[in-house]
Chains A and B, each alone.
Chain A
Amino acid sequence: MNGTARLDFQIIVVGGGHAGIEACLVSSRMGLSTLLLSSNQKRIGYMSCNPSIGGLAKGHMVRELDVLGGEMGKTADLTCIQFKRLNSTKGPAVRGSRVQSDKDKYSVAMQKVILESPNLSVKEAEVKEVIIKEGRCAGVRLQDGSEIYSARTIITAGTFLNGVMFMGDQKSEGGRHGDKASHGLSDQLRSFGFDVQRLKTGTPARLLKDSIDWSKTEAQWGDPTFFPFSVHSSSQFYLPQIACYLSRTSEKTHEIIQRNLSRSPLYCGMIEGTGPRYCPSIEDKVVRFADRSSHQTFLEPEGLDSNLIYLQGISTSLPQDVQSEFLKTIPGLENVQVARFGYAVEYDFFEPTQIKHSLETRGIPGLFLAGQINGTSGYEEAAVQGFIAGANAARSLLNKSELVFGRDEAYIGVLIDDLVTKGTKEPYRMFTSRAEHRLILREDNTVDRLLARSMDLGLLSQEKFKELSQLKDQRAGYAEKLKTEKLYPNEEVQRKIEALPSNRLLKSVSFEEFLRRPEVSSSDLLRFGFEVPSDPRVSEPVEIEVKYSGYIGRQMDLLKQWRKNEDVPLLGLDFSAVRGLSNEEKEKLFRVQPRTLGQASRISGVNPSAVQAILVYLKGAELRKRSNGELSAPHWGSKD
C-alpha cells in the first residue's frame, strides 16, 4: 500500500538451527535477498542433542529434502563417521539410512555453505519481537530496539522461546547449554491471540572418552557400504568410520534412580510441559517399566577428534550428584568423568493448527513458523519445515503457487499435514507408521517421486536434472523390458531354473512374472541372457516394485479411494450452513480450515458422518448452481 515502505531484506530468517539454515538457503538460492539472524553465530548448524542424522522415516525425509535442493543430506554425507541402513532385513519401504556425523565438522561445513551463499547475509543479534504493519508482519525488532524490515519473516527459534533448563532443583533460563533463552516473541504472539503452549525435552550427559573402560562395552560398527543421502555425494566415505559402543543399565542403576525420584523435576511437578513418549528420560523408563532390570545405552563419539561421548538413551534431569552416582553403575563407566550433565528443557511452542500448509501463520500474513516451535522434535523434522517455509515465503514474493506436498507423495507432506491438521500434544517425531502410503514412500524411489516437483522448484543444476532424469528413464526402461521380454521354457532354460533353485516353467512367462518369484533376483536374470542394468540404483527400485506389486497395488487401491476426498476442495466453505454437523465438529472445522475434504476427515473429533454430510451438502450446492445457472446461497441449511 505504502510505496515508500522501508525494506531492508526481502526475507528474514530468525534462528540458525536446522530449520533456519534450510529456510535461508532456499530463499537466497531463489534469488531473494535474505538475512539470517542468529543469537550465536558460532552455533549455526549445531547439533544440540544426538550426533545422528536420519534413521527410519527421518532418513526418508533427508533424501526427499535433498532431491528438492536442501542442504542437510549433503553435509551429513560429508561428515559421516558411521553409516547404517536400519531394517535392512525388513521390506524395502521401511529401510532407513542413518548417519552419525562429526558434530563439529557438521556445523563448520554448514557455516561455510551459508557464508559462501550469494544473496544471504548473517547477523548476530537477538530478536525481541516482530513488527506488525497494517496487519502484516513487516520485519523484526531486536533487543537493542533497532528494526529490520522485510517482506516475509520466518521464525525458527527452536527451544529458545522462554526456554528453561532443569537439573534437579536447579532451574536456569536458556534454550540450550551455553545459550540464552529468547524472551518477548512468544509473549507478543500470545498477546495477538496465538495459542502458545509448553513442551519438554531432555538430553543425556556428555562423557569424557578417556575416562571410559571400553573393554566392558560391546563395539557396534556401521555398514561397509555407503548409500549417501544426497544425489550429489560420492558413494565412498569422506571420513574414516568409527564404532559406537553398547552397554546396559543395571538393577543398581535403577535402584539409585528410584531412591532419588523425589529430586527429579519431572516427578516433583516443576515441569509442566509434555515430553516425547518415544524418547523418555531414564527416570521415566525406570518408573513405567519397573519390571525391566536393564535398559540398553549406546556410547556414541561426537566426532573424530572430539573427546566427548554422547550417552544415547539415558536422558535425565536428575541432580548432578545422582547422575554421577548412577552413571558409575553402568559397565564401562565405573570411573567416568562427566563433561556436561544431562538436563531437561522446557520451552514455548505454537499450537501448529494455527499455521497453513505453507507454514505461514493464519493470523499474521507474512509471518512463517518452522521447526521445533511448531511442536516437532528432531533435526530432520526441523530441516524440512525450514525448507518448506523458506520456499513458500520466496514463492509468495515471486507470485508462484504454494509448495505443498501430498501425504501420498512424500514424508514431508505427511509431517506438515499432520501438524496443521491434528496439532500435537508432545514433541512430534516422524515414524513410518504415520505414513498411510508407506509402501510407496520409499528411500529408493525418492527421485521418481519428487523429480518433477524439484524441476518446478529449480534448485538443482541442469546437469543434475539431466543425470536424475536419465536415472528415472533407465528405471522406466528396465521395467518396460521386464514386461515385454519373455522367457521360453526350452530344456536349457529349465535346467538353469532348476539350478537356481526354482520350479520349472509350465509355459513361457515375461521376465517380470519370473522375477516375482521370491527366490529369483535381478542378478539371476543375467543367466538367461537378459540384460540387467549394472547400476543398482536402476535395478533395485524396479525389482522392489515388481516383487511387491500385489501389496503396492492394494495400497494404491486404498490411495485411490482416499484421493477422491483429497480432490474435493473445501476452502471458503461456510460450515455453519452444513446440516448434520455437531457444534464440536463445526468449531474444529472453523479452526483448522481444511483445504480438502480429505484433510477435514483427518481432524480429530470430526466423525466419518460429518464427512458425508459435507459431501452431500456440496452435491446439493452443485446441483442448485447448475439449475439456477448461478451461485446461490445453499438453502438446505435454512429450510428447516
Chain B
Amino acid sequence: MRLTHSDDVICALATGPGRSPIGVVRVSGRESEKVVRKLADFLPNKIESHRSYYGLLRDPIKGSVLDEAMATYFQEGRSYSGECSFEISCHGNPIILSLVLKTLIASGARLAKPGEFTLRAFLNGRIDLTEAEAVHQLIQAESTSAVRASHRQLEGFLGAELKRINTDLYGVLAQVEAGIDFSTEGLELWKEGELLQKITAIRTSVERLLETFSIAKKQFEGMVIALVGPPNVGKSSLMNILMSSETSIVDASPGTTRDAVSDTLEIDGVKIRIFDTAGLRDTSDRVEAIGIRKSYEIMTSADVIFGVFDLSRPETLTFLQDEMRSFAKGSWLVLGNKSDLVVDPKEVVNPEVLSAKMVEAKISLKAAFPAQVQDAEFISCQEVELTQKTLFGFLKNHVLPNQISESPLISNSRQYDNLFEAERSLARALETLTNHAGTEFISVDLTTAALKIDEILGNQVDEAIIDRIFKDFCLGK
C-alpha cells in the first residue's frame, strides 16, 4: 500500500494563534524547499540543514514584503516529520502569520490537518511502534475525542452560528444547483447581484468567526493579567504572593525587574497568565527602555491590569495616575500596597478602618478614571493570605464572568483550519462570480466551503444540497 499524504507540502502555525513576540510557521513535505523558496528568495542556492537564514519574506506575485523572518532548514531524515522541513520564525502578529500561511498555500502548500506532522513522523519511521501507540492516541484525541469533546461546545453557540452560516450557504448552493439541474422548470432564481450579496454576507460571518480564535485562545488557554506601576512598589512581591512561589526576582533597588516574567495559575478552571512587568518609569537605560516598551505591549493585550502603588509614598499614586491617563485604556484594579506601613498593623486586620479609607480612595479614583478603574483595594504583602483572598475575590467577581463568552468562538486549530479554508473558498467563489464565469464553477468553491464547515460540525455533506433544493423549490416537470 502506498503511504498517503506524503506528496503534499503541509504548513501550519506551530506557535499559539494569538499575539506573541514571535510566531513560528512550520512547513513540511518533499517539495517544501520549492514552496518556501517562492517566498524566501534570500535563501542561498545551497542550504544546510539545521541552519537559520535571515531575510525578508515576500509575496511571490506582488513582490510586497510580508515580514522579516528567520527560516531554519531541516533536511530529509533529520527533521521532526522525517521530511524536508522548514521552521520560519516571524513576528507574532496574527495578521502577519495568517498572511504568511495564505501565501504559502497560494504557492503550493496546504494547511496541515490536526496531528499530521506527527502522523508523518510516524509514517516516515521517525518514531517507533511504542511511540506510534501514543501517536495513535494523539490522532484520536485530535479527531475522535477532540471532535466529540468539541461537540459539546458545538451544541452551543458555535454550533448554532456554524449551522446558521451553512444554512445560508446551502441556500445559495440550492439556488446555484437548482439553476443547473432544474433549469427547464421555470424556477424563479436569484440574480447575480443577489448571489453576490449573499455570498459576501456569508464570508463576512466566517471572517468574524475566524477573528474569535484569539478570544477563544484566552478562554481556553488562559487570560492575561499585567502587573504594572512605578518601580519599587512591590509588584514582584505581589506576583510571588499570587503564584505562591519565588518566580520573580525581588530586590530593593529600583528597576531590577527588567523583563516581563510570567506565570500561570488557575481559578475556577480558567487559566490565568500573570505578567510582572518592568515599571513605567522614564529611563535612559537602553535595556530597561526595551522592558518598558514590552510593558506597554503586555498592558495592551491584558484582560485586566493591576496598577500598584505604595501607600507610604503618595507620589507613586500620582505617577500611576499619570500613566493611567497617558495609557488611557484597559481595565484596572488599583492596589494600594504596603498598607502595613501607613496603617497600624492591628488595623490591617480591622476591615472597618481599612474600608473607610478605601471607600474614599475608590471614590476619588473612579471619579478621575471612570472608564478605566474597576475597583481599588489596600493590601499588604506581609499579609499573604488576606492579599490572596482579596485579589482572587476581585478576579472571581469582575474578570472571570466576562471570560465565559456568550458569543460563538473558534476554539481549536481543527476548527480554525477548516474555517480558514472555507473563507478562502468563499473568496474564490466571489471572484468567479464577478468574472461572470458559469455558476457550475462557483459551485466548486461554495461546495468546498460548505464541506469544510460541515467537517467542523462533524456532518456529512453529500445529500445536503439536494435536500435543500427539494425544500426550497417546487420541482417536477
Contact = CB atoms under 8 A, between A and B. Distances in A.
Interface of A: 56-57, 86-87, 90-91, 93-94, 277-281, 284-285, 288-289, 292, 295-296, 298, 312-313, 315, 422, 431-434, 436, 438-439, 548, 551, 554-555, 558, 561, 564-565, 567-569, 579-580, 602, 604-605, 607-609, 612-613, 615-616, 618-620, 622-624, 627, 636, 639
Given A278-B476, A555-B444, A56 B180 contact: yes
A602 B463 CA distance: 11
Interface string B407-445: 000000000000000000000000010000111110111
B477 A312 contact: yes
A313 B475 CA distance: 9
Contacts of A279: 475-477
A636 B181 contact: no
Nearest to A640: B133
Contacts of A623: 129, 132
A627 B125 CA distance: 12
Given A568-B4, A616-B139, A551 B437 contact: yes
A277 B1 contact: no
B180 A432 contact: yes
A612 B139 CA distance: 8
A433 B465 contact: yes
B136 A439 contact: no
13 contacts: A279-B475, A288-B474, A296-B185, A313-B477, A315-B476, A432-B180, A433-B177, A433-B181, A434-B466, A438-B443, A608-B143, A609-B144, A636-B133
Given A315-B476, A619-B123, A438 B440 contact: yes
B186 interface: yes
Contacts of B438: 90-91, 94
B4 A615 contact: yes
Contacts of B4: 564-565, 568, 615
Interface of B: 1-5, 8, 119, 122-123, 129, 132-133, 135-136, 139-140, 143-144, 147, 177, 180-186, 432, 437-441, 443-445, 447-448, 455, 458, 460, 462-463, 465-466, 469-470, 474-477
A278 B463 CA distance: 14
A416 to B, nearest CB: 15
B183 A568 contact: no
* Ranked 5 nearest A-B pairs via Cβ: A91-B438, A609-B143, A277-B470, A289-B474, A609-B144
Contacts of B475: 277-280
B441 to A, nearest CB: 5
Contacts of B476: 278-281, 284-285, 313, 315
Chain B interface secondary structure, helix, strand, loop or mixed? helix
Given A277-B475, A608-B147, A619-B123, 13 more contacts: A279-B476, A284-B476, A289-B474, A313-B476, A439-B441, A548-B441, A551-B432, A551-B441, A558-B444, A558-B448, A579-B140, A615-B4, A623-B132
A613 B143 contact: yes
Nearest to B475: A278
A79 B182 CA distance: 25
A56 B477 contact: no
Contacts of B439: 90-91
A41 to B, nearest CB: 31
B368 to A, nearest CB: 56
Contacts of A288: 474
Given A607-B147, A615-B4, A278 B444 contact: no
A90 B440 contact: yes
A438 B445 CA distance: 13
A277 B174 CA distance: 14
